[in-house]
Amino acid sequence: MTKGKYKTYNNSQVSWLGDIPEHWEIRRIKYVFKEVDSRSETGKEDLLSVSQYTGVTKKSDKVAEGDSISNARTLEGYKIVEKGDLVINIMLAWNGSLGISKYNGIVSPAYCVYKNLIGNEKYFGYLFKTKNAQQEFKKQSTGIIDSRLRMYTDSFFDIKTCLPSKQEQTTIANFLDYKTEKINRFIKKKKQLIKLLNEQKAAIINQAVTKGIYPNVSMKDSGVEWLSDIPEHWEVRKLKYVANFKSGEMITSESISENGSFKVFGGGGFRGFTSSFTNEGEFVLIGRQGALCGNIKYANGKFWASEHAIVTYIIVDIEQFFLGEILKVANLGRLSQTAAQPGIAIGQIRIESIPVPPIQEQKAIITHIETESKKIDKTIFTIEKEITLVEEYKTALIAEAVTGKIDVRDFKLPQEETPLGMVAEEAAHYNK
């Protein structure tokens, strides 16, 4: 897209808008929106939620079947929302938790609901999600810290906004609908590709640590349910003959500070700061409790490990990485028992069996995995850079279109769909 500009601009005298096209107006938001406060009598309408990432969505679309949509005893008295209304979470307006609703429904009484008085509400949906608008909302919010900020209606209404003609607002909104939908599809496809590449990497690792890397070797039944056949010359050993296991211990964060700055493993799967002892060497750590129960991490040198982690001390000729990866394949999380939270007992882990190839073959397997993983990781890195570039392009395109920094008045929906691959080219050209 050519980055055309308007012929003449005026200084808006509004810091978050800067220069705007000469024929655009400046008005306070109170003349552009009105607050509405209709309440539900039954609470039976669709419950809506507001997010900085997805705007206004149906809460039922995010809740698993059978789960409760809300913890509230009743939804009576919730605010009624109609299609096209602007809904703002006044506690999080500063981070973009707002949007134009595509649905009829109800929202929490803590939210504010507004109807557009002039023009195209979708235009303002884009405008108010820009970073400059969020910074202005933050400036107009009251509170000491971010988590306590509130932007009340009087402050919102006092903000000055730009106002193109209704026809121009509609054209800008249509342009951005078309562009962002195309960009979002491009990003979705790229993320799906990354997912496939990660699955391919996982399959390579799984194959290497359970079947080896040498073709045409004779196979035998491992006798292990999750493992199936393995190379005939591999051993099968119980983990208690491969490694010792010790659960981390509770200690205060002050003790950690006093004894040096080491990595901390623990807290729901290696993320806590209330942890225990120091060690040296190479270790495999297993998440013992919480949401990451059964997850595997690697620790080298000195570290702290809390009671949420099981430290594995290797006692035979087995490579740290091989052991860790085969434990991932074994899915130790299946051993967890749920009480207050999922947990695995060390005794359960010790009697699990794993395949053990000769040490030199383990080293060859690791080299193979590293080589193949690097190829895939390089491709993923390139794709992630492309996604970042395109996301930056989308952000800039929206901000420039809604504030008149580019002129899109001649935009018309293309008769033929342009290839998605053009998105990356447009982004690269746009950011030059």
- Which CATH number goes with the domain that contains 75? 3.90.220.20
Last residue of a domain, one of 137, 163, 189: 163
With respect to residue 77, please indicate whether it lies within any of the assigned structural domains. yes
With respect to residue 86, please indicate whether it lies within any of the assigned structural domains. yes
With respect to residue 176, please indicate whether it lies within any of the assigned structural domains. no
Residue 149 and residue 262 in one domain: no
Residue 228 and residue 351 in one domain: yes
pLDDT of residue 276: 43
Does 258 have pLDDT greater than 60? no
Question: For 276, which DSSP code?
Answer: -
CA separation for the pair 113, 100 (Å, rounded): 10
Question: For 289, which DSSP code?
Answer: B
With respect to residue 374, please indicate whether it lies within any of the assigned structural domains. no
- Give percent of the chain with pLDDT exceeding 90: 70
Last residue of a domain, one of 124, 143, 163: 163
Residue 48 and residue 109 in one domain: yes
Residue 156 and residue 40 in one domain: yes
With respect to residue 410, please indicate whether it lies within any of the assigned structural domains. no
Number of domains the chain contains = 2
Higher confidence at residue 60 or residue 286? 286
Residue 64 and residue 127 in one domain: yes
With respect to residue 175, please indicate whether it lies within any of the assigned structural domains. no
pLDDT of residue 201: 97
Task: Return mean pLDDT, the chain.
Answer: 88
Q: What is the DSSP string of 120-165?
A: -HHHHHHHTTSHHHHHHHHHT-B-SSGGG-B--HHHHHHSEEEE--
How many of the other CB atoms lie within 10 Å of CB of 50? 22
Dump pLDDT digits (tens) for 297-316: 888 877 777 777 888 989 99
Q: What is the mean pLDDT of residues 408-412?
A: 93
Residue 103 and residue 235 in one domain: no
Residue 258 and residue 327 in one domain: yes
Q: What tokens appear for 341 in the block?
A: 């939270």
Residue 265 and residue 352 in one domain: yes
Residue 256 and residue 143 in one domain: no
Q: What is the mean pLDDT of residues 226-237?
A: 96
CA separation for the pair 177, 180 (Å, rounded): 5
Q: Where does residue 258 rank: exposed (0-12), middle (13-18), buried (19+ CB within 10 A)? A: exposed
pTM: predicted TM-score of the whole model, two decimal places: 0.82
With respect to residue 105, please indicate whether it lies within any of the assigned structural domains. yes
Last residue of a domain, one of 332, 356, 380: 356
Residue 345 and residue 224 in one domain: yes
Question: For 334, which DSSP code?
Answer: G
Dump pLDDT digits (tens) for 344-388: 889 999 999 999 999 999 999 999 999 999 999 999 999 999 999
Dump pLDDT digits (tens) for 154-203: 999 999 999 999 999 999 999 999 999 999 999 999 999 999 999 999 99
pLDDT of residue 3: 61
Does 337 have pLDDT greater than 70? yes
With respect to residue 126, please indicate whether it lies within any of the assigned structural domains. yes
Residue 220 and residue 103 in one domain: no
Q: Containing domain of residue 147, as a range?
A: 25-163
